[in-house]
Structure 1
Amino acid sequence: MTRVSVIIPTYNRAATLPGAIDSALEQTVDDIEVIVVDDGSTDDTEAVLAAYEDPRVRPVVHATNRGANVARNTGLEHARGEYVAFLDSDDEWHPEKLERQLAVLEDRSSDWVGVYCDSAYDLCGASGRLRSAAAAVLARWDDEPTREGNENLIGELLADNVQPGAGSTLLVRTAVARAAGGFDPDLDRFQDPEFCLRVLEHGKLAYVDEVLVRRTETGHPPAAVVANASEQYRSAYEAEIDRFEDEGYDIRSSHELVLAKRYFAEGRFLRGAWHVRAATVSPRAYPGICWTVGTGVRRRSQQIAAALAVLLVAIALRRRVRSR
């Protein structure tokens, strides 16, 4: 049996797809297959895939775009490996990523069904480096979360204290991934932790404390989409959320912070502030909040400038009327 099936969903990412495929093919683990699910791309993705003569690369094509979660599940259906590992088509792996993860699982009992690792965003430029450095320093003020296990990991996932990034970091037994039902096709956000929560129903997740995935920040869904997904996610796990909040986890407030940042990034500052008031904000979150506020200011700069101009004209006219 194939050792690992790598599943790469892609849609109109011909520019970044080769980097993802090559990083999978360059793994130090033998006996892998790379299943690339072209989710109805209209760019040069077909030509990119045709250029690979490596028999380990197995393209699967959707006639129409059906979403990343459906594409991941299609890859899962075609997987022939003992394990599956997911990789987004704009991310890349360290060459020893799979080897390090498999080594961890080999030292554990059969209760351990998967393992994830750390990842880091490729934040370019001085502002990106400053943002990363500030977050790293402020993170030292936070309590260290539980990163492994089963029951004790559920609360951390729900509270967003641990972000496994399953779409690019997770290695899990294929049978378990299928038994868990794959990724929820109806979720446009929070699909990674939600999938991990269902995996945890079948066993424990281990953790490799190394950055073995380089991620690219490619944008976010609109705030309204995130808000709808948050409501779906919280509704599905309402009983668990109540139980872990009774144990001291800040779950609902963490979702309020996620929504606040998305509204700030869109320049909808009042709506963002409305969500912040219900959020618990740790020092580690300060750089991200400042960044999203700055993004919103830049996005709404013309509207803000126009509003200030109208305000200044109104003040000037009011003074002129008073002077008469």
Structure 2
Amino acid sequence: MPTVSVIIPTYNRAEPLRRTLDSVLAQTYDDLEAIVVDDASSDGTASVMESYDDPRVTFIQHETNQGGSAARNTGIEHASGEYMAFLDSDDEWLPRKLERQVDLLERRSDDWVAAYCGVEMVPESEPGVVRKLATHLFSRRRVTEGAEGGEELVRLVLSDDLHTSAGSTLIVRSDVVEDIDGFDESFDRFQDSEFLIRVLQRGKLAYVNAPLVRRHKSGNPSATDLEAADQHYVRAFSETVSELQSEGYDVVGAHRYMLGKAHLSEGNLLRGMRYLRRARRPTARQYPGLALSLVAGLQHRAG
């Protein structure tokens, strides 16, 4: 049995999948298995996988498209490792990612059930000078926050204040994954955050302070889709959200801010401003990103 089972759900990503899988097989910690679950792709994914002759690689195909959460759960069902690690099929790991995470967890007590790490964001195209400068100076999302702990981190996740990129950074003890029944298949977005919150309700999350994952930005959902998914996400934790609101944490306002920015970026200026008027007040570090969303929205309308 391998120590780590790496679960890679994929759908119509034949081109980046090879880069992703190669980064797993190049890990310095090689006591692993890689389980690639193809969610009924219509591109050349199967041909890519046929080129791998490595006993550590398992390839599973869904006959029909079931969504990312279902693909992850299929991988979980076939996993045999002591830990499960998750990786999106367009991202990649640096060679020591697993080594450092496994070492960290094995040096901690049994209370520590999962670990994540820092992230380097890779844009789809080279950003302009202004955007590059704003991102470098102000972006909250440029580097993972680095918080450690247990259930007290739920507030930060729900408030959109802790960005772990769990879909590609997270490694979790397998018994915990099984205890929480894997991923909730009713989620097509926010599934990583929803899963992480339930992990935090079972134990503590550790952090490796190094950017060991390269996340390749590949577009955003429409503001309308994000709105519907966000409503489902908030409803799923409505009791926790109500408790946090009563304690003075504006979780609802944080979600309104996120949705307001999304609508601004698409040029839905009135709808975006309606959300922002009722949103949590942005910090100084958020204003440049808000301004860039407004500029993108104006450009969208002009085009």
Alignment RMSD, CA only? 1.9
Which runs of structure 2 are paired with 1:181-196 in the superposition (5 Å)? Answer: 181-196=181-196
| Residues 135 and 286, structure 1, Cα contact 8 Å, conserved in 2 | no
Specify the alignment match of 1:94 in structure 2. Answer: 94
Amino acid at match of 2:63: A
Query: Is the partner of 1:72 in helix, strand or coil?
Result: helix
Tell me the distance in 2 between the aligned counterparts of 1:284 and 1:183.
33
Specify the alignment match of 2:44 in structure 1. Answer: 44
Shift of 1:24: 0.6
Shift of 1:292: 2.7
Specify the alignment match of 2:9 in structure 1. Answer: 9
Specify the alignment match of 1:137 in structure 2. Answer: 137
| Residues 111 and 203, structure 2, Cα contact 8 Å, conserved in 1 | yes
| Residues 3 and 83, structure 1, Cα contact 8 Å, conserved in 2 | yes
Specify the alignment match of 2:151 in structure 1. Answer: 151
Give the alignment's TM-score, normalised by structure 2.
0.92
Tell me the distance in 1 between the aligned counterparts of 2:139 and 2:45.
39
Structure 1 residues 262 and 188 mapped into 2: Cα distance closer, same or farther (>3 Å)? Answer: farther
Shift of 1:132: 5.1
| Residues 145 and 163, structure 2, Cα contact 8 Å, conserved in 1 | no
Amino acid at match of 1:277: R
- Cα deviations by residue, 1:212-251 (Å, 9 ceiling, x for unpaired): 1111111122212211121111112122112223333231
| Residues 4 and 84, structure 2, Cα contact 8 Å, conserved in 1 | yes
Structure 1 residues 118 and 3 mapped into 2: Cα distance closer, same or farther (>3 Å)? Answer: same
Tell me the distance in 2 between the aligned counterparts of 1:89 and 1:145.
23
Amino acid at match of 1:114: A
Query: Is the partner of 1:8 in helix, strand or coil?
Result: strand
Specify the alignment match of 2:234 in structure 1. Answer: 234
Shift of 1:301: 2.0
Tell me the distance in 2 between the aligned counterparts of 1:258 and 1:301.
23
Tell me the distance in 2 between the aligned counterparts of 1:25 and 1:287.
39
Amino acid at match of 1:251: V
1:301 aligns with 2:302: yes
Tell me the distance in 1 between the aligned counterparts of 2:68 and 2:53.
25
User: 220-229 or 30-39, which moves further after superposition?
Assistant: 220-229
Structure 1 residues 96 and 145 mapped into 2: Cα distance closer, same or farther (>3 Å)? Answer: closer
- Cα deviations by residue, 1:110-136 (Å, 9 ceiling, x for unpaired): 011000112121124242x75354245
Which runs of structure 2 are paired with 1:1-324 in the superposition (5 Å)? Answer: 1-123=1-123, 124-127=125-128, 130-131=130-131, 133-138=133-138, 147-280=147-280, 281-302=282-303
Q: Structure 1: which 5+ runs fail to align?
A: 303-324
Tell me the distance in 2 between the aligned counterparts of 1:213 and 1:287.
25
- Cα deviations by residue, 1:131-167 (Å, 9 ceiling, x for unpaired): 3542453369xxx977111122111111111012111
Shift of 1:298: 3.1
Amino acid at match of 1:171: I
Give the alignment's TM-score, normalised by structure 1.
0.87
Please identify the structure whose Cα radius of gyration is greater.
1
Tell me the distance in 1 between the aligned counterparts of 2:292 and 2:17.
28
Tell me the distance in 2 between the aligned counterparts of 1:199 and 1:215.
22
Tell me the distance in 2 between the aligned counterparts of 1:145 and 1:54.
36
Amino acid at match of 1:298: Q
| Residues 119 and 215, structure 1, Cα contact 8 Å, conserved in 2 | yes
- Cα deviations by residue, 1:177-236 (Å, 9 ceiling, x for unpaired): 121122222222221111111111211111112111111111122212211121111112
Runs of 4+ in 1 over 4 A off after TM superposition: none
Structure 1 residues 80 and 149 mapped into 2: Cα distance closer, same or farther (>3 Å)? Answer: same
Tell me the distance in 2 between the aligned counterparts of 1:132 and 1:174.
39
Amino acid at match of 1:283: A
Tell me the distance in 2 between the aligned counterparts of 1:200 and 1:147.
12
Tell me the distance in 2 between the aligned counterparts of 1:168 and 1:145.
15
Amino acid at match of 2:137: V
| Residues 135 and 285, structure 1, Cα contact 8 Å, conserved in 2 | no
Query: Is the partner of 2:43 in helix, strand or coil?
Result: coil
Query: Is the partner of 1:55 in helix, strand or coil?
Result: coil
